[in-house]
Amino acid sequence: MGSNSCLNFAITHHCVYLSPSFSPNSKLHNPNPNHNQFLLSRSSFIPIATSSFALHSNHTLSHPRSKKLPLRNAPNFYVAASAKAVPLKVMISGAPASGKGTQCELITQKYGLVHIAAGDLLRVEVAAASENGKRAKEYMEKGELVPDEIVVMMVKERLLQPDSQEKGWLLDGYPRSSSQAAALEDFGIHPDIFILLEVPEDNLVERVVGRRLDPLTGKIYHLKYSPPESEEIASRLTQRFDDTEERVKLRLHTHHQNVEAVLSTYKDITVKVNGNVAKENVFAQIDAALTELLEQREVNSGSLTA
Ligand code: AP5
């Protein structure tokens, strides 16, 4: 089995499969060597490739949904090739406790994106008692936005890390103001989709005060809606310092002051999601939107090659 830095090859009976990152266990590998067919499950497809081509024994290159292209000097066997993926760039937004973090867990599990949460980055600084952390805490305790000079570069640097660039990113709770949105645009950072979770305000306070976090796994729980699986987990759960009824009201006030400016920046790519149903049903809506986005890309890349 050959291997080079760009493309790897796998030969099984009548088929040759090429992918940017083939391994013997790769899901790109056709599980049934008797099928001369390009097989990709959606979940394996997403992090790896956004366009795919098949080189047939009649020497044509085609995308599954496009016309066949003639190829010279083509080998006399069936080849499926995956072009390097263009990673997904997703923003998720919503009021405090609308379920952003909960959905991010589910999205990253399926789509393999790098989860970047502005609040989490700030809490790391607070826990480290860094200068930025000490300053940030003053604002977080009041439910106000932490100043841009602390947040903007912090998020930008995380977005530009190699893992975010390679796997794609899922930006949670950022941008939260017109100046943050403008800074991202200035840096040339633009999402493919902006997901907005909608939850009636009455439910948000209850979600905040019942929220608990597992410091070992980072998993988010709710005492009523998503209780811990065991006594052992229950005994180690912690509560965020800003998760009180009084503070969430301040956070909601800040959210209302800023949300419109952010929404107007991304209105053309906004998908509104009903966040007031069970978390699995919220995820089903998000999953449908991301799937549609990827399918659209696949069609577009096919028509480009046609
Ligand atoms: P941040 O940490 O981002 O807090 P937030 O926006 O208030 O959002 P939360 O993390 O509270 O909620 P969530 O939407 O993630 O909900 P979750 O999934 O946990 O920001 C904190 C502070 O940092 C800000 O106040 C600000 O000071 C600062 N900051 C952050 N970003 C900044 C920025 N860009 N610029 C400046 N400052 C910034 O769910 C909540 C609870 O509900 C959980 O218990 C969960 O189990 C439960 N739940 C979730 N989904 C469901 C469901 N479908 N049904 C029932 N319960 C559910």
Amino acid 200: pLDDT: 95
- Please answer whether residues 195 and 98 qualify as being in contact, where contact means their C-beta atoms are separated by less than 8 angstroms: no
Classify domain 89-208+258-288 by CATH number. Answer: 3.40.50.300
CB-based contacts of 66, cutoff 8 Å, min separation 6: 302, 303, 305, 306
Distance 104 CA to ligand 1 centre (A): 11
Which of 100, 155, 223, 259 is the best mutation target for the ligand 1 pocket, counting ligand atoms within 8 Å of the beta carbon and taking the most? 100
Distance 52 CA to ligand 1 centre (A): 38
Amino acid 306: pLDDT: 60
Q: Give every residue of the chain whose pLDDT is below 70, as ranges.
A: 1-85, 304-306
CA nearest ligand 1 atom 34, residue = 174
Which of 220, 245, 246, 257 is the best mutation target for the ligand 1 pocket, counting ligand atoms within 8 Å of the beta carbon and taking the most? 220
**pTM for the structure as a whole:** 0.76
CA proximity to 117, closest of 174, 164, 167, 161: 174
Locate the ligand 1 atom nearest the alpha carbon of residue 117 and give its number. Answer: 3
Residue-range domain boundaries for the chain: 89-208+258-288
CA nearest ligand 1 atom 21, residue = 119
Distance 223 CA to ligand 1 centre (A): 16
